A and B are shown apart, each in its own frame.
Chain A
Amino acid sequence: MARTLILDTSCKFMVVGIASNEKILYSTQIECFQRQSEIAMDEVYKALEITKTDPKKISKIIVTVGPGSYTGIRIALTIAKVYANALHIPLVPISTMRAMAGVKGRKISLMDARSKRAYIGIYDGGEKVVDDSVMTIEEIEKLLDNYKGYKLVGDTHLLNVESEEIDFVKNLYELGKNETGVVDVGNINPVYLKDK
């Protein structure tokens, strides 16, 4: 059975998942901010080994493209592009904000962008309400009044709000499983948002 590889390193986690036929076979989410590159390949190999997945059986890769950590985004995206290119398989790029929101409910995704700013994404049932952006915490606080009933996810401590940990593998699989993806992976670029 064809398998889907799921990767994310765009925030503080090293995320690897393997899914097949609506089932998540393997999922890991290790908190290792700024250190993902040290374990990334080992974690991918481990996932393939444990699920006895021959890389040739991977038919699709779902990967986050940011916004998020400048260094972090490129780790998973580079691994994904190399696999996709070598295996001639499509890549499904997904906004990190959308991955945080998942497919269910009304969500506001937040990620610390430092200097009292955060990346923000607003999603309803996995579909974006407005484009992802970077704003000051102050601006976000004001904006929230317009989005009553939306649940905050991610770095919600920036607004002194507690939230549950996000299951990135589950969210990414649900968002990307029915997407055909992009074959010409050279055209997929990281989304930094901060670059002028």
Chain B
Amino acid sequence: MMKIRVNSLDDTRELAEILASKVEVGDVICLNGDLGAGKTTFTKFFAKALGITEIVNSPTFNIIKCYFNKNMNLYHIDAYRLEGVDGDIGLDEYIYGDGVCVVEWGEFITDLIPDNNITLNIRRVDDIIREVELSGNESLVKDVIEAWQER
């Protein structure tokens, strides 16, 4: 587990850009954090870094939004409304799909989250500063941390 300190919105963007440059098809990124921690903001920067030009916003109502893109497809899942939902709604087609998947509220779909996911726990320190704890997918975490330190 590695912790990094994000001191500005620009830092958030840089972290998202680093991650976007390292991910591969099939990677799953779990974003955890309280309301206002910056999960959606991070995803917006991440999508932009992948080359997605569409507006990215929270899929709380839709549960999933797909952003098809030449470089890498992005599936953005918000499982908040799946708490206590039993049964298959086909999310595995995206999680194990042809792209990278960002999952918010992954704790409600733990069965579907692959073990090698990378998890970002985002903690709000103050209005601007965030502490981001990276865990899971070891090689990816290592790559991201290295790139973060070298920037």
Q: Using CB atoms and an 8 Å cutoff, list the residues of chain A in contact with chain B.
A: 33-35, 69-71, 114-115, 192, 194-196
Contacts and interface: CB of A to CB of B under 8 A. Distances in A.
A114 B96 contact: yes
Interface in B91-149: 92-94, 96-98
B133 to A, nearest CB: 28
B32 to A, nearest CB: 24
A195 B87 contact: yes
**Chain B facing A: main interface SS:** loop
B88 A192 contact: yes
A35 B89 contact: no
A141 to B, nearest CB: 20
Contact of A115 (B68, B87, B96): B96
Nearest to B91: A70
A70 B96 contact: no
B66 A70 contact: no
B68 A70 contact: no
B90 interface: yes
A192 B93 CA distance: 13
B67 to A, nearest CB: 11
B90 A69 contact: yes
